[in-house]
Structures are given as C-alpha cells and as structure tokens.
Chain A
Amino acid sequence: MGAIDAGCLLFFGYPITPQNEIPEYLSKHLPPLGGTFIQAESEIASINLLLGASATGARAMSSSSSPGISLMQEGISYMAGSELPVVIVNISRSGPGLGGISASQGDYFQATRGGGHGDYRMIVLAPSTIQEMYDLTCLAFDLSDKYRNPAMILGDALIGQMKEPLIRQKPEKMDLPPKDWALTGARGRKPNRIKSLYLQEGELTEHNWKLYQKYERMKKEEVRFETVNVEDARFIIVAFGSMARVSKSAMELAREEGMKVGLFRPITLFPYPEKGLYDISKQVKQFLTVELNTGQMVEDVKLSVDRDAQVYFYGKPPGALPPPEEILEEIRKYYK
C-alpha cells in the first residue's frame, strides 16, 4: 500500500513465507493501476529485473525473506555500485540456512553492513508498527531516489503477520533531483551509462570516495529515532522493530514498579543514531539492548555510547517470542 502511494508500479519477486502477503496484495492491485507484477523464476532473477527497471528511472521494488534476501545480495551490491535507487523489503525469518519461518532479527548485520561484496551501505529502515510499515515504505522510496542508493525495509515475521489499524495518508513527497542519469533512450542527448565496473586507473578509488561521501551525508541528514521517557530515565532499553514494541510494554511494567526506565528506538538502522545514543549516555549510564538474535545491534550500541556507560544485552534465538515480563526480569536484574 505504501509502495503504491509512493508511485511504485513495478514489483518483482519470488514467493517465500512470511512475506507472501506483500506480493499477494500487489499482484491484485498493481495491474489495474497500469503497473506490472512479475513473479520471477527465482530471487536472483527478481533482483536483476529490479536492477533493469530502476535503470530506466522508474520506481520499483522487491520483497523477500531472509534466505531470498541472501540470494539477492549480488544484485544489491551491483545496484549500490551502479547507484540505482530501489526499495527492498525483508520480512526476515529465522536462519541460518533455510532456518524456519518464525520471527527473527538475525539479519541486522547483513542489512546494515552491506550484505553483498564491496564497501557499500544501504539505507535501512526498521518499522515497529503497521502504520510505520506504510510511512517508512513511502520514505524509503524518497530516500533511495534522493541518494541514488538501495533502501531496505527490515521487518520480521511478527510485524509482517500482525494486523493493526492504519491511516492511509500519503506523506508529502520530498523535493528530489531529476533522474537525468536514467536510461530512457538517448535520442537528442548524450548516452547515459549505468555500470559498476571501473577499470581505469584511479577511477574506482574516486567512485568509492563518492559513495563514501554519500553515506556520510546520510549520517548527517537522515538519522531517525524515537525516544520514550528518557528525560528522567536512569536506565534505557535500546531495541528496534518488533522488539521495541515488546520493550515498550516492559518499560511500562518497570515504571509501575517505580524504576525509571526509558526506551531508545532506532528507526534508521543505517545510518545508525550514534549521536542520539551518545548524547543520552552522558546522563544515563545503564543500557539494555534487546534483540531477537544472540547479539548484533548491541555492537552498534556499544560503539555509540559514552565510555563509562554499561551496555547489557538480552537476546533470544528464533523460537518462542519473549513477552514483556521476560524483559522486565532483565531490567530488574541490572537496574541500579
């Protein structure tokens, strides 16, 4: 829905649980709008169809889940190298390998560290409500166009399967640069070239520095996070996506017991809200990172906070989802 409202009329994908609701919806709604829905023969075909569509300047997307996203990494690296704006949704499931279909946040490293080969980054947005699933999808299209860079929505099976009220209100579109780089037929102008191969001496160095500058600009301009009850907090939970919701309930339970607990929720996983966390860590010295994995984002939390802050971790491998009471137990353990 967010994709359609962002003007995306092209989808390429291959089925996989737990994200099939997205292609199911788009396969029904794109064709009547004049769009195209293609169920390709594989994820590898999907991602390369996406590359081609994006090269023409059209807004296009794909969605998949963890093992499928792994298959797409080569294409994503090529698109990062070729500076192509696309949106990819990962409703992640549990791994490694085929793993299972239960919710997991085990793809944090893959999403935020590049995933494919080469020194690149993706814009990574982590919705924690259905409303944000919509809002951030719209935003992802704008950001990917603004930076000519792939953007990923990183959800999980919990966010992907639940239902919640949504207000469908198109956000204001950003002022975006014209896509004068797109392959639209070169009659009357110099041909455009989209490529990620740079063999001339110095050419690739220059290209990589250009990409680097782009990522640095994202860090300055695009960081987004939410804080709840940090003003008087003595203890902060850091969590993203589905686990941020469960943590929010745990925070409320802790407050009922008189513990001054706050919540810090990164919305952009890349660029990571390092400064937001650092600023808070000058006042608050206890942090508990909660993840549905055995410890990934906690590394970014440790890199961000002030040196004398304590960073604890509570994580779970895929399987049973932790209820708020379990996180409350952890807060009690460390809260001073």
Chain B
Amino acid sequence: MNSDRFYYDVIVAGFGGQGVLAIGNLLAYAAMKEGRQVTFLPTYGVEMRGGTANCTVVISSKEIGSPIVQRPHAAISMNLPSLLKYGPRVLPKGLLMVNSSLIDLKEVSRNDVELLAIPVNDIAIQNGNPKLANMIALGAFAEKTKWIGMPSLFESLEKVFDERHHGLIPSNIKAIEIGAKFVQSL
C-alpha cells in the first residue's frame, strides 16, 4: 500500500493439505521483498495431514511486536471449520474471504465485515488443476487487498518453493492471475 504507516494482519486457515501455509509464506515473502516488516506464524506438527492448519501473517511499516493476533483485519477461510473458528474474530469492517466451493454462504454469520466469496476449488478445476485452489485464493486476496504487488508475489515463488518444484512455478503464476482476474470481474 502507499501510505507510509500501515499495519495489516491476516489469518489463513483450512484443512492440512489445502496449501494454507503456502499462501501465508508467499504473502510474507512478497511483503519482505517490498521492504516491509513481516511475521509469519504457522501452526505445526500434530495439526498437519488432514487436520486443521492455519497461519498468521502480519505486515507492517514498523517493527512487529506480537506475531499472535486475536482480532485480524482479514481472514481467509478455506473450509467450514476455519470459517466457524476465525470468522467471528475478524475486526468489524475487516475482510472475510471464504472458499465458497466448500462453504455454504448461509454459514457466514457476520454482516459487519466485507465478505469476499470465491469458489476457489471450482475455478481451479475449471482451469485444469484442482491442486492450485490455494493459488487462486492467494491471487484473489492479493488483488482485493493490494497489500503486496503481483510482481513480488511471482518472484517469491522461487524462494518459497523448493528447487525441485520450480517447474511448477508457471502454472502457479497463472493460477494467481486467474484468482486476481476473478476479483476484477466482480
């Protein structure tokens, strides 16, 4: 963002395996590339593999104190349990992004936040690779919030992904762009 002083935070949550940590990692790395202060705090260990996974990313113009956030400015809910857990915690007027492929919007109980419903799994399947649903979500979130620029996000892919996965970078970039375009079309 353009203002000199800013502070944003987001909780990204879903099933283990949905790639929520990758979303958080990429947001954090891109923000760092843009010279921001940033913290990335994942859950780990027992919560992997099919359980719930979440991470908290804080982006700020000044040194960050707590990496733990009670009331975030934004939440990305990739599945219903995440919406039920983190939806109520989003700050009033904050952004609640939900994966409407897996979440019935009737489950959203907040009317004091901005709701961004993106059917990320459906979009990913339509574009040929269901595994890229998280990148669709990331593209949509980045486009909506403008916390970070697309170029830094693309550059971050090769830093965040292990070298053996670098062949997948072009398809990930494409998925991020599709997510962004979806938001533009709303």
Contacts and interface: CB of A to CB of B under 8 A. Distances in A.
Contacts of A310: none
Residues of A in contact with B, size category: 20 to 34
Nearest to A166: B32
Contact of B44 (A161, A165, A249): A161
Contacts of B37: 165
Nearest to B24: A163
Interface in B28-42: 28, 32, 37-42
Given A18-B44, A101-B44, A101-B46, A164 B39 contact: yes
Interface in A213-263: 245-252
Given A246-B65, A324-B65, A158 B41 contact: yes
Contacts of A326: 70
B66 A249 contact: yes
Interface residues of B, number: 20
A162 interface: yes
A321 interface: yes
B151 interface: no
Contacts of B41: 158, 161-162
Contacts of A157: 44
A321 B38 contact: no
B39 A162 contact: yes
A68 B71 CA distance: 35
A164 B40 contact: yes
A325 B44 contact: no
Nearest to A320: B68
A165 B64 CA distance: 11
Contacts of B99: none
Contacts of B25: 163
Nearest to A157: B44
A17 interface: yes
B28 A246 contact: no
Interface in B1-58: 25, 28, 32, 37-42, 44-46
B67 interface: yes
Given A161-B44, A163-B28, A323 B70 contact: yes
A281 to B, nearest CB: 24
A248 B41 CA distance: 17
B70 A17 contact: no
Interface string A138-166: 00000000000000000001100111110
Nearest to B40: A163
Contacts of A252: 65
Contacts of A158: 41, 67-68
Interface in A151-203: 157-158, 161-165
B161 to A, nearest CB: 15
A324 B69 CA distance: 8
Contacts of A165: 32, 37-38
A17 B69 contact: no
9 contacts: A17-B44, A18-B44, A158-B67, A162-B39, A163-B25, A165-B38, A245-B66, A246-B65, A249-B65
Given A162-B40, A323-B70, 14 more contacts: A18-B44, A101-B45, A158-B68, A161-B41, A161-B42, A162-B39, A162-B41, A164-B40, A165-B37, A165-B38, A246-B66, A248-B65, A250-B65, A323-B69
Interface of B: 25, 28, 32, 37-42, 44-46, 64-71
